[in-house]
Amino acid sequence: MTNSNSVTFNYKDFLRNLTHQPGVYRMYDESGDVIYVGKAKDLKKRVSSYFREKVDAVKTQVLVKQIASMDVTVTDTEADALILENSFIKKYRPRYNVLLRDDKSYPYIILTSHEHPRLGFHRGARREKGDYFGPFPNGSAVRESLNLMQKLFPIRQCQDSYYRARTRPCLQYQLKRCLAPCVSKCTDDEYNEQVQLAKHFLNGKNQQVIDELVTKMEQASEALEFEKAARFRDQIASLRKTQERNSVTGAQQELDVIGMARGNGMTTIQMMFIRDNHLQGSRSYFPKVPADTSDEEVLRAFLLQFYLSDNAGRKTPREIILPDTVEPDEVLAQVMGQALNRSVKMQNNVRGERKQYQQLAAKNAVNALESRLNQQSTMNRRTSALQQVLDFGVPIQRMECFDISHTMGQQTVASCVVFDQNGPKKSDYRRYNITGITPGDDYAAMSKALAKRYDKAREQGNIPDILFIDGGKGQLSQAEKYFEDWGSDAPMLIGVAKGESRKPGLETLIMAGSHETIPLSKDASALHLIQHIRDESHRFAITGHRQKRAKVQKTSTLEQIEGIGAKRRQTLLKNLGGLQEVKNASISKLSSVPGISQAMAEKIYYSFRDE
């Protein structure tokens, strides 16, 4: 039985193939939802830190337990990764990045409307007068931004009580991080100049700020105010360093960029989607490509299938940037334009910002290809090791694994996952709803699941070489009983029993028939493959079970009362204001609802009390 909330993520395989380049990583739970987004100067080092033996932060421990899968997007610099991280956080709203639910809880930067405005941190209702900038994904992002602003614009960040009590300049004035308006070390005009520059900067008008500072520097120089001119010069240098052009944000409103990489018989196509001046996301595709197929032919087939397939949710941009090695196909662009009822521009010879995007897509395609090749190599090595351990005379072509998931015997779901020599074959995954058994009877559930999967398998010819059963001898005996009449057509049956502490590496492998155990060390490649298959079966089963459980929980208890259909349920909910109000209503109040008789009101009333 699988009813644990834990998720096993094979982080060792993921880290083995991870690059040392900067980028952004995303963590997913077993439902496929993004639960955390982070950026890294070195992806391998940063992601590895989550999986140390001793992690002190409780939040990190809880987060790691929820990880079912991860992916990365490589960037050119750490600054690019920071910007892309914020973009992904706004898009996915991961629960471990943003912990509070309403807009009032998100932190902002506030520039107050005092005589000498204060730049500060704000969270909560916007009662104070001033300009608000944000929201930011978390408090740390606001504090980092305020620290940067203090270096760029000498505006006070102190509280009003501290500001009013000053009789001499504080340390921030000595560090040239505040003009000290509290003790009149600057004129009001000088201070307001910096306030306006800061406001422009926070509104994204970076070049305008630099242009204004250049003008002020020249004016100060002409007036022989060299100290003032030097201050403006340093401010300009800091701004240019901070706001140098990056490759994940720019002036492109709507653009798709394609990268391609090929090697060792495999092809990767990387799609990057730019919308509203930001890189909104990326995805790697691994199409099956016949030998000796040209890049042009591969890309043409991909574009037609990607953009012209039946998916109304995908928006096609007006411009597509191709890899620099592939010439645009005018006929293809014309055909796509006619099919999509809009003009589509394709080009590969680009400059400036588009060139940066093109190079970034190519870099991510190469990284995805290398990662997939490494994974495939690992899979082949593990499959070969399993063949040797089991003394399997021929190459293993297909492996399947069954698992059962339920909660206290309710909403029982069986999963069947399929692996071949390249890894998971998700198109062949299946889930089976198990009914008509005694709640909690895992043996009966396994017997029914096997019958649903294999009753017609011999006719279809998709029988696995090896069938793993997640469970001990009891579960394995159900499989032995089912296949006892199959003879040589039956797959090899292996039970995977968890160890006493249920920790990876302590599993016991039980052979059908003799029920002998197979001794394998914790670092054996064959054991790692079996763990991967078993964990995937566990993930697939528990995801299906949770979806079914959620569906049942959403079903109104009103419809379970005889005589209450969809229309009467809606009438009750509308008139009384919700299910809880219906449950608490008296008989007279229920009978006052149109269409509800006295007898029906009594039935509704007592059905909730009897529960």
- What does the pLDDT read at residue 204? 63
Same domain, residue pair 111 and 68: no
- Boundary of a domain, candidates 242, 267, 300: 242
Find the CATH number of the domain harbouring 514: 3.30.420.340
CA distance 34 to 93: 8
Same domain, residue pair 284 and 333: yes
Same domain, residue pair 114 and 51: no
CA distance 131 to 125: 13
- What does the pLDDT read at residue 276? 58
Percent of the chain with pLDDT over 90: 15
Alpha helices in 467-578 (DSSP H): 473-483, 525-554, 566-576
Same domain, residue pair 221 and 345: no
What are φ and ψ of residue 30, in 5° steps?
Answer: -70, -15
Q: What's the average model confidence in pLDDT over 287-303?
A: 81
CA distance 81 to 197: 26
Find the CATH number of the domain harbouring 569: 1.10.150.20
CA distance 219 to 212: 11
Which residues are CB-neighbours of 301 under 8 A, at least 6 positions away?
A: 287
Q: Are 22 and 81 in contact, with CB atoms under 8 Å apart?
A: yes
Express each pLDDT in 436-465 by its tens digit: 888 888 888 899 999 999 988 887 778 999
Q: Are 255 and 321 in contact, with CB atoms under 8 Å apart?
A: yes
Other beta carbons within 10 angstroms of residue 256's beta carbon come to 24
Express each pLDDT in 174-185 by its tens digit: 888 899 999 988
CA distance 210 to 233: 10
Residues facing 65 on adjacent strands:
none
Q: What's the average model confidence in pLDDT over 467-494?
A: 89
User: 95 lies in a domain?
Assistant: no
Task: Round the average pLDDT of the chain to a whole number and report it.
Answer: 81
Same domain, residue pair 285 and 342: yes
260 pLDDT band (50/70/90 cuts)? Answer: very high
CA distance 368 to 376: 12
Same domain, residue pair 129 and 180: yes
Same domain, residue pair 107 and 235: yes
CA distance 491 to 404: 20
- Boundary of a domain, candidates 352, 370, 388: 370
Beta strand spans in 408-513 (E): 410-420, 423-424, 430-433, 466-470, 492-497, 508-511
Q: Are 332 and 303 in contact, with CB atoms under 8 Å apart?
A: yes
Comparing CA positions, the residue from 102, 92, 172, 103 lying closest to residue 132 is: 103
Express each pLDDT in 324-379 by its tens digit: 999 888 877 877 777 777 788 899 999 888 898 999 999 999 998 988 888 878 88
Beta strand spans in 57-149 (E): 69-74, 108-112, 119-122, 130-133
Q: Are 169 and 176 in contact, with CB atoms under 8 Å apart?
A: no
CA distance 416 to 189: 73
**210 vs 315: which has the higher pLDDT:** 210
- Boundary of a domain, candidates 221, 242, 263: 242
Comparing CA positions, the residue from 145, 146, 114 lying closest to residue 131 is: 114
Same domain, residue pair 487 and 403: yes
Express each pLDDT in 87-113 by its tens digit: 787 778 787 764 333 344 567 888 898
User: 97 lies in a domain?
Assistant: no
CA distance 295 to 293: 7
User: 357 lies in a domain?
Assistant: yes
Same domain, residue pair 111 and 187: yes
239 pLDDT band (50/70/90 cuts)? Answer: low
Q: Are 552 and 411 in contact, with CB atoms under 8 Å apart?
A: yes
- What does the pLDDT read at residue 70? 92
User: 4 lies in a domain?
Assistant: no
User: 388 lies in a domain?
Assistant: no
Q: How many residues does the chain have?
A: 611
Same domain, residue pair 359 and 411: no
314 pLDDT band (50/70/90 cuts)? Answer: low
For residue 171, the Cα-to-chain-centroid distance in whole angstroms is 44
User: 153 lies in a domain?
Assistant: yes
Instruction: Determine the structural domain holding residue 497 and report its residue range.
Output: 399-536
What are φ and ψ of residue 387, in 5° steps?
Answer: -60, -40
Return the DSSP state at 427: G
In the chain, the number of structural domains is 5
What are φ and ψ of residue 274, in 5° steps?
Answer: -105, 120
Q: Per-residue pLDDT for 241 more than 70? A: no
Find the CATH number of the domain harbouring 50: 3.40.1440.10
Percent of the chain with pLDDT over 70: 87
3 pLDDT band (50/70/90 cuts)? Answer: very low
Peptide bond into 519 cis (omega under 30): no
